[in-house]
Amino acid sequence: MTATTPSSTAPHPRPGPALRAALLRRWGRALVGMPPYAWLLLFFLIPFLIVLKISFSEPQAAIPPYVPLFSWAGDQILQIRLNLGNYGYLFSDELYVAAYLNSLKIAGISTVFCLLIGYPMAYAIARAPKTVRNPLLMLVVLPFWTSFLIRVYAWMGILKNEGLLNSFLLWTGIIHAPLQMLETDFAVYVGIVYSYLPFMILPLYATLEKMDLSLLEAAADLGCRPFRAFLNVTLPLSIPGMVAGSMLVFIPAVGEFVIPDLLGGPDTLMIGKVLWSEFFDNRDWPAASAVAVAMLVLLVAPIMVFQHYQNKTSEAGR
């Protein structure tokens, strides 16, 4: 066979400037994408794998306080000791299951309250005159300027027996003896709803604000009273915001430790507290790690649901 085109017989050309530019573009793009992946790998995936590894080992009184997973047993034999007992323990001891369920309950109820309180607030801000919208949003975000911990301590000051709220109620004469509010589930709900409310308001505001108001005029035009227009048009169109806000409140609330620890009582059972005591009080790192892994798995499920929902709505929107 003979060459039919001159180029195929010519020596392989050195990369021309166009090719070099294309290569650079390709690698350049990859380089720009690298840092976030590197960040996630270093500070999320690797720590997670370490925790996963510890969850399969046995505790021992040493530093570190667990038996290594991998060890050399004699000549050229790598011994791997996988201890599944920690996970079995999670299911056999009622404490863990109860703590999980209670965490889900507290997070769920708090989310509902955040939604009930946050929706009217987000709605009012989104429908306020343009000039006051930003100041109002600013007020929603303002608490973030103070340390989260300080704000929770402030609630202790408000809720304790000789605190602000009790003093006020005693002064008005509504009650005659101080109410036990601190160290109850009530205080935990107050703390979680208060702390996570902005995370509900912001996505709801974003959805409500970009809603086309001519849809409401169209509804009115077609004979719909304002309240029914809200139920039939505004509410269904704000579902994406409600889902996003609920996820942002529910997911961190499940693993919340500070609020139940400071505001809750000794019998406020939440998985974050169990994890803490397992880790620091019992120094049982493997069990604590198993709790952490299980919690992660439990939380990944709602996130997946959320993602799935978002993909579906973005597809429908196209």
For another protein, the closer of residues 23 and 215 by Cβ is 215
* Stretch near another protein under the rule CB under 8 A, chosen from 77-85, 103-111, 223-231, 287-295: 223-231
What torsion do the CA atoms of 187, 191, 194, 196 make, to the nearest 10 degrees? -140
User: Minimum CB separation from another protein for residue 222, in Å?
Assistant: 4
Q: Give the C-alpha separation, 96 to 116, whole Å.
A: 30
Q: Least distance in Å: CB of 205 to another protein?
A: 19
- Segment interacting with another protein (CB under 8 A) among 120-128, 170-178, 181-189, 212-220: 212-220
- Tokens 């430790």 sit at which residue? 257
Binding mask 18-57 for another protein (x = CB under 8 A): ----------------------------------------
Interface residues for another protein in 297-316 (CB under 8 A)? 316
Question: Rule CB under 8 A: is residue 231 a binding residue for another protein?
Answer: no
The pair of three-digit structure tokens given for residue 219, joined into one six-digit string: 């509804």
DSSP string of 173-222?
TS-SS----TTSHHHHHHHHHHHHHHHHHHHHHHHHHTS-THHHHHHHHT
Assess 130 for contact with another protein (CB under 8 A): no
Task: Tell me which DSSP letter residue 145 carries.
Answer: G
The residue from 221, 266, 267, 297 that contacts another protein (CB under 8 A) is 221
Whether cis (ω within 30° of 0) applies to the bond prior to 64 is: yes
Contact between 220 and another protein (CB under 8 A)?
yes
What is the C-alpha separation between 204 and 117, in angstroms, rounded? 12
Q: SS3 for 68?
A: coil
Range 233-262, binding another protein (CB under 8 A): 233, 236-237
Q: Provide the minimum distance between the beta carbon of 226 and another protein in the complex, in angstroms, as a whole number.
A: 8
Residue among 11, 17, 35, 317 that touches another protein (CB under 8 A): 317
Taking the complex as a whole, how short is the minimal distance between the CB of residue 224 and another protein, in angstroms?
5
Distance (Å, rounded) from C-alpha 262 to C-alpha 245?
25
Torsion angle of alpha carbons 17, 22, 24, 30, nearest 10°? 180
Query: Nearest distance from residue 130's CB to another protein, in Å?
Result: 15
131 near another protein, judged by CB under 8 A: no
For residue 6, give the H/E element and its range. Answer: helix 6-9
For residues 93 and 212, which CB has a smaller minimum distance to another protein in the complex? 212
Token pair 């270093």 in the structure block, residue: 42
The residues that touch another protein, with contacts defined as CB under 8 A, are 212, 214-215, 217-225, 228, 232-233, 236-237, 316-318
